Amino acid sequence: MDKALLKKMSALSKYLGLKFNVKWCNYIFISKSMNVLLQYTNMCPDNELNKYGQDINTRLEKINKFLASVTFTKHSKRYGGQVYFKKNYKNDLRFLKNIENFLIKKEFSRLLKKIKQISKKSDRIILLTKTDNKYELKMIKQDILEHELIHVVLIKNNIYFQNKDSKYWKYDEGLVTYCDYLLNKKLWLLENIIKKHKKNSMEIDYFIYAVKFKELLKECKTPKDRRKELNILFNSLK
């Protein structure tokens, strides 16, 4: 793990008054196709994935339709990452059972076995996509890994709005984006990014909600104050 990245996570923890453990910062690489498959099975709210269902059972029924789709092919060319929750493993076994494509099923089976082994020591695993592209690899090891690490640090400190309801994913992504731009001293860019971003994209909500957190925390003077504001916000959501 890059020392500069660990230093950022330590700084973030002090800023928000959080606990931090270097042991949380583990990750593995997976194929791009497995990354999008897990986004699908673990209910990523991407608009294109939502066309195949917004609940587990519907997506389970349409898994083979999705795997044969242009959407799956297109998303399988993208690099990225995600945090895998140990609790999702049983549901993923259900999806595995329903997959008809032999090669995808075989790869997914191997990945789940690996995840099961790692999950014995950790309830959260950072997954990053493999790539031979030098630019993509740089982005993955810096920006994307940082984004996912922030997720893990917040989750480990019980700051996870989706614990209340999955519909609050925008708050989680917004807070992570806020923290990301704070650590890189780029908070001033958030509003400009919103103006330039595609209005119908999922990612624009990351920045819209990041600005909300920027406003929420701007008057806070101490880590205790910031944590208090986050708790008040969490408790206000129904």
Q: What is the pLDDT of residue 26?
A: 84
- The string of DSSP letters for 162-228 reads GGT-GGGHHHHHHHHHHHHHHHTT-GGGHHHHHHHS-TTSTTHHHHHHHHHHHHHHTT--SHHHHHH
Give the tokens for residue 171: 């708050």
Q: Is 120 helix (H, G, I), strand (E, B) or coil?
A: coil
Q: What is the pLDDT of residue 57?
A: 97
pTM of the model: 0.93
- Tell me which of 94-108, 138-152, 185-199 is least confident: 185-199
Residue 118's pLDDT band, with cuts at 50, 70 and 90, is: very high
What are the tens digits of pLDDT across the range 56-90? 999 999 999 999 999 999 999 999 999 999 999 99
Residue 122's pLDDT band, with cuts at 50, 70 and 90, is: confident
Q: What is the pLDDT of residue 98?
A: 98
**Residue ranges in the chain assigned as alpha helix (H):** 3-16, 32-41, 47-50, 56-61, 63-67, 70-75, 89-98, 102-118, 134-139, 145-156, 169-183, 190-196, 204-217, 223-236
Q: Give CA angle at 5 (230, 223), nearest 5°.
A: 25
Q: Is 95 helix (H, G, I), strand (E, B) or coil?
A: helix
Cα dist from 29 to 33, 82, 127, 131, whole Å: 12, 11, 6, 9
- Beta carbons of 58 and 157 less than 8 angstroms apart: no
**CA 139 and chain centroid, separation:** 15
Q: What is the pLDDT of residue 3?
A: 87
- Beta carbons of 137 and 108 less than 8 angstroms apart: no
Residue 129's pLDDT band, with cuts at 50, 70 and 90, is: very high
Residue whose token pair is 């790692």: 118
**Domain residues of the chain, as ranges?**
25-135
Q: In what order do the strands lie in the sheet with 124-129?
A: 27-30, 124-129, 81-85
Residue 201's pLDDT band, with cuts at 50, 70 and 90, is: confident
Cα distance between residue 10 and residue 77, in whole Å: 33
What are the tens digits of pLDDT across the range 22-54? 888 889 999 999 999 999 999 999 999 999 999
Cα distance between residue 84 and residue 119, in whole Å: 10
Long-range contacts, stretch 224-230, CB < 8 angstroms, 24+ apart = 224/17, 226/15, 226/16, 226/17, 227/16, 227/17, 227/18, 230/16, 230/159, 230/175
- Tell me which of 66-70, 92-96, 117-121 is least confident: 117-121
pLDDT tops 70 at residue 200: no
Q: What is the pLDDT of residue 202?
A: 82
- pLDDT, averaged across the chain: 95
What are the tens digits of pLDDT across the range 136-176? 999 999 999 999 999 999 999 999 999 999 999 999 999 99
Single-letter code of the amino acid located at 149: L
Q: With pLDDT > 70 as the criterion, what percentage of the chain qualifies?
A: 98
Q: Is 126 helix (H, G, I), strand (E, B) or coil?
A: strand
